[in-house]
Structure 1
Amino acid sequence: MRRWMMLALGTAAQTVACTFLYGLPYTSEALRRDNGLSLGQVGLLVACPTAGLLLTLIAWGALADRFGERTVITSGLAMTAVLLSLAATVNGLVPLGVLLALAGAASASVSAASGRLVIGWFSARERGLAMGIRQTSTPLGMGVAALVVPTLAAHDGVGGTVLFCAALCGVVAVLVGSLATDPPRTTRSAGQEPAANPYRHSALWRIHASSALLCVPQFATNAFAMVFLIDVRGWSAVHAGQLLVLSQVLGAVSRVLAGRWSDRVGSRVRPMRQLSVCIALVMGATALGALRPSPLTDLAMVLACGITASTNGLAFTATAELAGSAWSGRAMGVQNTGQNLAASLTPPLLGGLIASAGYARGFMLAGALAVAACFVIPAVRIPAAPDPTAAPAPDPTAAPDLTAAPAPTAPPAPERDSRTD
């Protein structure tokens, strides 16, 4: 039962962090009205939290490896709450931007450590499902932001919205600090060799690279789905938004189902490869729908928004299992950094291509990158970790590492048949 409590706390922590990060764009009009900012200045402010997050993900991961998940998540969310409370009291581009960037940097603690908390409490036979559930925090946070922030911004301005996000972070920080328990860890004896660096071999780098490639179709659909439906299919903004709520639900469900699938087949990378092919096919259908619009175009776009999110949890689970417990915080920090960079670069770069060459070519490029990801994903055998909920050995100094698969000391074995990865 404890492991499900840890999953709930990790998911809640990531959800409130996403509410802050993804809710800020909904305050754009209030920022212009209350602070007298131009649209370009508003865009700069909205980007500040993501910039802060990108710069600190790996550092927070290293702290999680050293001091534990509960300490990192609690302190990071508490700092986020304090910084957002201060941001609610200031005006002007520079002071507000600095505080938002610092708040984003503090919130990165959750991205680096909450996945490590979940991984550490679940055995290999449930870990994919658990991480799939944890990954629903992104659409949950976006949903909370979409439902609450516009109304708050209209009535209470930017200050009221930022205080709401601060309150959410503060409440969850208290819950994590009071209820969370770090997974069992290995007790190292004096003179014992440190865990081998998993980045000496290519498998972990290939997981990061393929995951970043798969972020392109995901954020291509997230960024351009609404304008696509309006421009190509003639939907109104209201009705297009209502249709895309369904796609967010489908995206959350696809993450959970993909995780459960990986548990059943005993592999993270094989479902990733197969899903990358499916993503490429659906993006191809969406591109075709842009050339020949029909009601099937709407269905293709909804499916694309849903299935492109399906591999996120698999990539994070594979990252933690390949890295081992001593390196998983840093490895997931690198994983998050790569994904966020791809997510940040996709809208402006792909938007330029769509503006000059049309939606079809833009979506075809995103599908081609999904095909490339299929070849980048490594074929590896990841050893299963013991169940972390099992009773510890009588001698605690000899207790095995129960948090994840052992850190690799040699290159992962190549895939020999369909049952090895």
Structure 2
Amino acid sequence: MDRLTRIGGAARPWVPLVVLVTLVQAVLALMSRTLPIFGMPLTETGGMPPEAVGQLSSATSFGSMVFFLWGPALLAGVQPLRQLQLGCATAALAMLACAAGRWEGMLLAAFLIGFGYGPSAPAGSDLLMRIVPRGRRATIFSIKQAGVPLGGLAAGLLLPAVAARFGGVTAALATASGLAMATAFALGFWSGTAESTASARGAKPLHDLVLAPVRLLALVLSSPRLRLVTAAGFALGIAQGIVMGFYPVFLSDHAGWSVAAAGAAFALLQGIGVPGRIVMGWLSDRMGEPVRAMAGLCFASGLTMILLTTIGPDSSAAHVGLLSALAGLTVVSWNGVFLTGLAEAAPEGRVGEITAAGTFVLFSGYVVCPLIIQAVFTATEGYTTGLLISGATPLLAGLALIAGHVRHASKPPA
């Protein structure tokens, strides 16, 4: 541990906490990616068409949104690491409910998995914002967010193999649940930097809980910079939500790949996203401005979504692999930059609340857009039109982001 905390002769006591929060992020991400990976067998078991997997993705995102609105106020007196522990335990118990095979139960389980995922953004950001030096925030936040594709990579490689060898989808769901519960148990033993730096505030009265969502969203809308970052995150989230919710099913249903092969391609996408997020955070720190970095990511993400329409039944493995890697580098690599932009623009002492509010707006896209795009897929009897729509949105957002940034930068100081 001493080697981890001393780099170049300078003490970095925040490094163990970054590692811990990143690992928790990875486990929670694994939980949220499990249902899309098994979209084909789960929808079949539930008596639904393959594209109905979008309902599971939306339910998961909706669960996170509910937490973002009320969680920070409801858990104001709970230490951030304890919030992460509760999230892991909630997701672990919910995953087991999917094994019953009823579609309604799967939707409820997906909602609770999303609710358990909720603390990862506000609690993790609050912890890191307190102890990470300003000049390294985008990089460190992106390292934390690299836990998301890392968890997806683990889900894509581990869980289909478990299903194939040890009893089918039920065994895979139980494995995911066990990992999350083990993480919750392990968090109970942490007694490091986090508990000494994170201050717990008193619990909110009932009327404050009722008004919490309104106050949070009003706070985000009151700042031009927060509006820009949040709007860009929403647009980027549309493309990301479609890839995360539909990509394995797209490869199986449209391109004719097996569940295991589609899971491997999904794992490649997630795996490239791990260094991709770190690189994007490092570039943002070098640029000194998350807004400009997000504009570039909007263009890259939109173009990638358009390129995914070239995948078909006759596509070679190399073609699919190349586009999967490109999607990992662009479509899933911007979240750390997004959280940094929110955290740096937040008022003093409001980082957790602001990141929760901004992430709520982002996740609203995760909820609504898979349902809309599912309808487009069904109406057009194919995936091309939906992917094109998903790509056009971040392209337009990139143009708007640049225009808004130039407009605000050109204003003379008051």
Same fold judged by TM-score > 0.5? yes
Distance change >3 Å, CA 37–CA 85, structure 1 → 2: closer
Q: Percent of counterpart pairs with the same letter?
A: 22
**CA shift digits 1:148-186 (9 cap, x unpaired):** 444556538368446514423323432446663354779
**CA shift digits 1:10-60 (9 cap, x unpaired):** 112222222223224567799799xx85448x9677865544332122322
Q: 1:249 aligns with which of 256, 271, 293?
A: 271
**RMSD across aligned C-alpha pairs, in angstroms?**
4.4
Distance in 2 (CA, whole Å) between partners of 1:203 and 1:112 is 19
Whether the 8 Å CA contact 1:207–1:319 is kept in 2: the answer is yes
Amino acid at match of 1:361: T
**CA shift digits 1:270-316 (9 cap, x unpaired):** 11112222223333444467799788853345413431112211111
TM-score of the two chains, using structure 1 as the length reference:
0.72
Is 2:398 the counterpart of 1:374? yes
Whether the 8 Å CA contact 2:22–2:143 is kept in 1: the answer is yes
Match of 1:140 in 2: 150
Whether the 8 Å CA contact 2:29–2:148 is kept in 1: the answer is yes
Amino acid at match of 1:370: P
Q: 2:408 aligns with which of 378, 389, 414?
A: 414
- Consecutive unaligned residues in structure 2, runs of 5 or more: 1-11, 202-217
Distance in 1 (CA, whole Å) between partners of 2:386 and 2:98 is 39
Q: CA deviation at 1:215?
A: 1.6
Distance in 2 (CA, whole Å) between partners of 1:224 and 1:90 is 23
Whether the 8 Å CA contact 2:58–2:370 is kept in 1: the answer is no
Amino acid at match of 1:4: V
Distance in 1 (CA, whole Å) between partners of 2:177 and 2:61 is 19
TM-score of the two chains, using structure 2 as the length reference:
0.73
Distance in 2 (CA, whole Å) between partners of 1:28 and 1:361 is 21
Q: 2:167 aligns with which of 146, 149, 155?
A: 155
**How do residues 44-193 of structure 1 correspond to structure 2 at under 5 angstroms?**
49-62=60-73, 68-78=79-89, 83-84=93-94, 101-102=111-112, 104-150=114-160, 154-155=166-167, 157=170, 160-161=174-175, 163-176=177-190, 180-181=194-195, 183=197
Distance in 1 (CA, whole Å) between partners of 2:146 and 2:391 is 23
Distance change >3 Å, CA 25–CA 102, structure 1 → 2: same
Amino acid at match of 2:241: F
Match of 1:12 in 2: 23
Amino acid at match of 1:371: L
**Matched residue of 1:324: which SS?**
coil
**Matched residue of 2:408: which SS?**
coil
Distance in 2 (CA, whole Å) between partners of 1:126 and 1:205 is 23
Match of 2:329 in 1: 306
Distance in 1 (CA, whole Å) between partners of 2:107 and 2:314 is 44
Match of 1:341 in 2: 364
Whether the 8 Å CA contact 2:127–2:198 is kept in 1: the answer is no
Q: CA deviation at 1:234?
A: 6.3
**Matched residue of 2:118: which SS?**
helix
Distance in 1 (CA, whole Å) between partners of 2:162 and 2:395 is 42
Q: Which moved more, 1:268-277 or 1:97-106?
A: 97-106
Q: CA deviation at 1:269?
A: 0.7
Distance in 1 (CA, whole Å) between partners of 2:300 and 2:113 is 37
Amino acid at match of 1:362: G
Distance change >3 Å, CA 288–CA 89, structure 1 → 2: closer
**How do residues 204-219 of structure 1 correspond to structure 2 at under 5 angstroms?**
204-219=226-241
Amino acid at match of 1:332: T
Whether the 8 Å CA contact 1:53–1:106 is kept in 2: the answer is yes
Q: 1:274 aligns with which of 290, 296, 316?
A: 296
Decide which structure has the larger Cα Rg and report it. Answer: 1
User: How many pairs does the alignment contain?
Assistant: 377
Q: 1:361 aligns with which of 377, 385, 388?
A: 385
Match of 2:9 in 1: none
Distance in 2 (CA, whole Å) between partners of 1:228 and 1:89 is 23
**Matched residue of 1:326: which SS?**
coil
Distance in 2 (CA, whole Å) between partners of 1:26 and 1:327 is 36
Distance change >3 Å, CA 237–CA 291, structure 1 → 2: closer
Q: CA deviation at 1:131?
A: 1.0
**Matched residue of 1:414: which SS?**
helix
Distance in 1 (CA, whole Å) between partners of 2:254 and 2:94 is 40
Distance in 1 (CA, whole Å) between partners of 2:189 and 2:71 is 20
Q: CA deviation at 1:126?
A: 0.6
Distance change >3 Å, CA 371–CA 147, structure 1 → 2: closer
Q: CA deviation at 1:263?
A: 0.8
Whether the 8 Å CA contact 1:60–1:112 is kept in 2: the answer is no
Distance change >3 Å, CA 180–CA 90, structure 1 → 2: farther
Whether the 8 Å CA contact 2:303–2:395 is kept in 1: the answer is no
Distance change >3 Å, CA 163–CA 375, structure 1 → 2: closer
Q: Which moved more, 1:152-161 or 1:101-110?
A: 152-161
Q: Which moved more, 1:114-123 or 1:230-239?
A: 230-239
Distance change >3 Å, CA 348–CA 46, structure 1 → 2: closer
**How do residues 383-398 of structure 1 correspond to structure 2 at under 5 angstroms?**
none
Whether the 8 Å CA contact 1:112–1:329 is kept in 2: the answer is yes
- Consecutive unaligned residues in structure 1, runs of 5 or more: 188-195, 382-411
Distance in 2 (CA, whole Å) between partners of 1:220 and 1:343 is 8
Bigger share in helix:
2
Distance in 1 (CA, whole Å) between partners of 2:230 and 2:139 is 20
Q: CA deviation at 1:356?
A: 4.2
